[in-house]
Amino acid sequence: MNQTYEDLARLFEYPGPEYRNAAAKFPEFARTIDGLTTEQLQESFIQAFDLNPGAALEIGWHLFGENYQRGEFLVMMRGQLKRFGVPESTELPDHLTHVLRLLARMDEDECTAFSRAFLLPALEKMTAALTSAGMPFLSLLTAVEQTALAGVAHE
């Protein structure tokens, strides 16, 4: 299991009281949110991911938009989540928290293939959306990208 993906998944959940403890594992991100109250952090999270469609946390939306292929992707994701024992939540199966937990459980080859095909192309679009908005969560997306790229580089 790749613990880094598990740790990152926690940070793409709505921030609560324990959020800063989870963020401490990623010093660059922790510095960007230092000094923000929990309420400010929650507001920033909503601005970054809920009100900014370009950085929505559903990777299938970035890859396929709202067409039939996304539906197929969601079905495939639900099957993968079940296969690897990743519990679903109220979020759609292609939500980044699910994707990261799925990647944490995949073997290296499968993780690399999934990252190349789905995660990295979606992250490119999400990162571009946050770059233009100057959000503090950009370094968090960069950490996901670096983790995925490190796995791809080992191939």
Find the domain containing 17 and state its range.
Answer: 3-153
pLDDT digits (tens, 9 = 90+) for 49-94: 999 999 999 999 999 998 999 999 999 999 999 999 999 999 999 9
Structurally, the chain folds into a number of domains equal to: 1
pLDDT digits (tens, 9 = 90+) for 104-150: 999 999 999 999 999 999 999 999 998 766 678 999 999 999 999 98
Output the domain CATH number for residue 9: 1.10.3480
Q: What is the pTM of this model?
A: 0.93
Spatial distance between the Cα atoms of 86 and 80, rounded to a whole number of angstroms: 8
pLDDT at site 150: 86
For residue 44, give every residue at least 6 positions away whose Cβ sits within 8 Å of its Cβ, in sequence order, or none: 33, 36, 135, 136, 137
